[in-house]
Amino acid sequence: MTELAARGHQIHVRTLSGELAHLAAIGIDGSAIGHAVQDNQLVDWRQRSRPRAALSVLRTLAERACLEAPELTRAIREHDPDVVLVDVNCWGAATAAEASGRAWATFSPCVLPLPSRDAPPVGLGLPPREGPRGRARDVIAQRVVSAVFDSQAMPSINKLRAGYGLPRVSHFSELLRGPPLVLVLVAEGLEHPRSDWPPNVRVVGPVSWAPPVATEEYAWLADLSDPLVLATCSTERQADARVIHAALAGLPPAGMSVLATTGAHDPQSFSAPTGSRVVRFLPHEAVLERAVCVVCHGGMGITQKALAASVPVVVVPFGRDQFEVARRVEVAEAGIRLHPRRLSPERLAQAVRTALARRDGAERIGRRQTRAAGHVAAADAIEALSP
């Protein structure tokens, strides 16, 4: 948005209320989406199995979709835009955008769940495999993944589409082939190579942004000794507090200090040993220039920010798209994947030592991100849509 505004375009953003101050600080007009959408949080962390957690996520996204569509319709009526851009997970907003007749696009800040003959199905965190057995595995697994998406998402999506006068679609993948433009914000080297991207898909690479870092506000970082490890949890609640508990218990005895950002968890629920610190939030850019490793849940945001800074990653995935992110980090040799069932202070310390030996892979991904200049490529593609 900053890039487009610098080119003279007028921007309006409908977003979470907590983001409005950031928009105002960079001179971009914004307004909050309704509380009904914001308050409809993911509750997959309550489930005890990955399949049930995945179904819970799909149900929540379907519930949000019914609320998003009228919100975007009102925003279009109020602002009369030439181009509409929506998040790939906002199925209702995408429906309203398509029905509006405007030029529109969607962006995916995570791995795009689009089937490919060149890659495993998205959702299971499978490693790439070649040969007849690998292809057979991928075909069978893709049928299972597609069946889950179609059965859980398509009934509510098609009901919504019918209300907006749009034709019915049979498979979720059709929704990803429909927009005039789909921007994939995943770094080259993390996304599995594909030769069958649809013509509407542009892989532009990550578009990372953070508030300016007030150096004096974080002067206390100088009190943390090197080597320093950043451990962080998701900002949308899940059962990942164990990552910070394990980091605080296992890394200081191994000679490393820890800065932990708790995200959705109360920082007071953690006990930091002398030389380490726990906070709810700080701009990760303030510490990534010093950190030797990042330990995280595998959110695509923190993972790509770490790699952009050439910092290797230990990913402990708990759900959502995190098993995919963990596998990609492992395949790229930019860090290591540690299954949450194996998480312990001792194993985490060993995983960090292994990740430190893979800094070359992190640097390779970081160089590719720098060359990609994703924000420029994304702005070019959006401009090309404008009538």
Token pair in block for residue 152: 């859980």
Token pair in block for residue 61: 């996204």
In which residue ranges of the chain is CATH 3.40.50.2000 found? 2-209+372-385, 215-370
The pLDDT value recorded for residue 219 is 86
Q: What is the pLDDT along the chain (387 residues), one digit of tens a residue?
A: 999 999 999 999 999 998 999 999 889 999 999 898 888 888 888 888 888 888 888 888 989 999 999 999 999 999 999 999 999 999 999 999 999 999 999 999 988 999 999 999 998 889 998 889 998 999 999 999 899 888 888 999 999 999 999 999 999 999 999 999 999 999 888 888 889 999 999 999 888 887 777 777 888 898 999 999 999 999 888 889 999 999 999 999 999 999 999 998 999 999 999 999 999 998 888 899 899 999 999 999 999 999 999 999 999 999 888 999 999 999 999 999 999 999 999 999 999 999 999 999 999 999 888 888 889 999 999 999 987
The pLDDT value recorded for residue 233 is 94
Placement of tokens 């030797």 in the chain: 292
Number of Cβ within 10 Å of residue 216's Cβ equals 6
Token pair in block for residue 207: 């578009």
**For the chain, how many residues are written?**
387
Collapsing DSSP to helix, strand or coil, 81 comes out as coil
Collapsing DSSP to helix, strand or coil, 106 comes out as strand
Which ranges of the chain would DSSP assign to H, the alpha helix? Answer: 2-6, 20-25, 35-38, 50-79, 91-100, 131-163, 172-177, 241-250, 285-288, 300-308, 322-331, 345-356, 359-372, 374-385
DSSP code per residue over 82-133: SEEEEETT-HHHHHHHHHHTSEEEEEESS------TTSPPTTS-PPP--HHH
CB 315 within 8 A of CB 329: yes
Q: Cα–Cα distances in Å, from 201 out to 47, 101, 117, 179?
A: 33, 20, 16, 9
CA distance 230 to 296: 8
Q: Cα–Cα distances in Å, from 91 out to 59, 165, 289, 339?
A: 12, 15, 37, 31
Domain 215-370 listed as CATH 3.30.460.20:
no
The pLDDT value recorded for residue 215 is 72
- The pTM for the full model equals 0.90
Cis peptide leading into 155, omega within 30 of 0?
Answer: no
Placement of tokens 């849509």 in the chain: 385
CATH number of 2-209+372-385: 3.40.50.2000
The pLDDT value recorded for residue 77 is 95
Residue 99, amino acid: A
CB 92 within 8 A of CB 66: yes
